[in-house]
Amino acid sequence: MANIGILGASGFSGAELLRICAAHPTFDVVVATGDTQAGTAVADLYPNLAAQYPDLAYAHADPAAFAGCDVVFLCLPHGASQALVPELLGHVGHVVDLGADFRLTNAGLYPTWYGEPHAAPELLAEAVYGLPELFRAGLPGAGLVAVPGCYPTAAALALAPFLRAGVIEPGGIVVDAASGVSGAGRGPKPGTTFCAVDEDFSAYGLTGGTTDAPTGHRHTPEIEQAISTAADGSAFEATTGVSVLFTPHLAPMNRGILATCYAEPITDMDSAAALSVLADAYAGEPFIVVSERSPSTKATAGSNTAHLTARVDPRTGLLVVISAIDNLVKGASGQAVQCANIASGIDETTGLPTVGMYP
| ∠ Cα 40 41 44 (to 5°) | 100
H-run or E-run covering 173: strand 173-179
CA 110 to mean position of chain CA atoms:
18
CB under 8 Å to 242, separation ≥6 — which residues?
A: 163, 170, 171, 173, 224, 227, 228
Q: Does residue 28 contact residue 4 with C-beta atoms inside 8 Å? A: yes
Catalytic residues: 150
- Compute the distance between CA of residue 319 and CA of residue 334 in angstroms, rounded to an integer: 29
Q: Is the dihedral of CA 132, 137, 143, 146 positive or negative?
A: negative
- Compute the distance between CA of residue 88 and CA of residue 256 in angstroms, rounded to an integer: 32
- The sheet carrying 319-325 orders its strands as 202-203, 244-250, 173-179, 257-263, 319-325, 306-312, 288-290
Q: Residue 359: is the preceding peptide bond cis (ω within 30°)? A: yes
Q: Does residue 145 contact residue 340 with C-beta atoms inside 8 Å? A: yes
φ/ψ region of 256 (left if φ > 0, alpha if ψ in -120 to 50, else beta) reads: left
